[in-house]
Amino acid sequence: MLTGSETVTAIFGYWPEFADARVLSFGFSTEGTVSLSLSYIDASLGKSAQVSLAFSGVRDLDLGDLASENVLDCLTVASGDPMTVTLEPCIGLRGSFTCTAATVTGVSSNNSFKPNSLRESA
């Protein structure tokens, strides 16, 4: 489905839905390519990473509500020919598109991430 997804699962142990992931960058080229860079934290595991994705052969693009701050509720890549990508927002960017290929183009683990315990935040 997603080429290079093993680089993300190596960090988290699973492929995340990217709930509460901050959208660091978003791009679209007229050649039919969408790029997306996300900052994702799994507080229960105490792990975080920046994940960059590229989607090619993009069609049926329906995106909106891009804001200065964009946070996803869920990023879904449904298998098929073509694949369907859905961006469900918490804040800002939302929409969907189809694509012929999806690739993890980069993963940078943030080893310095340390979640606050509930006792520390009280």
The structure tokens listed for 8 are 């993300």
Q: Is it the case that residue 119 has pLDDT exceeding 60? A: no
Q: Where are the alpha helices (DSSP H) in 1-122?
A: 6-12, 118-121
Please answer whether residues 72 and 21 qualify as being in contact, where contact means their C-beta atoms are separated by less than 8 angstroms: yes
Say if strands 2-3 and 22-29 run parallel, antiparallel, or are unpaired. unpaired
Helix (H, G, I), strand (E, B) or coil at 14: coil
User: pLDDT digits over 33-77, tens only?
Assistant: 999 999 999 999 999 999 999 999 999 999 999 999 999 999 999
The predicted model scores a pTM of: 0.88
User: pLDDT digits over 1-27, tens only?
Assistant: 799 999 999 999 999 999 999 999 999
Please answer whether residues 18 and 118 qualify as being in contact, where contact means their C-beta atoms are separated by less than 8 angstroms: no
In 3D space, the residue among 5, 24, 16, 3 whose CA is nearest the CA of residue 45 turns out to be 16
Angle at 61 between CA 58 and CA 63, to 5 degrees: 130
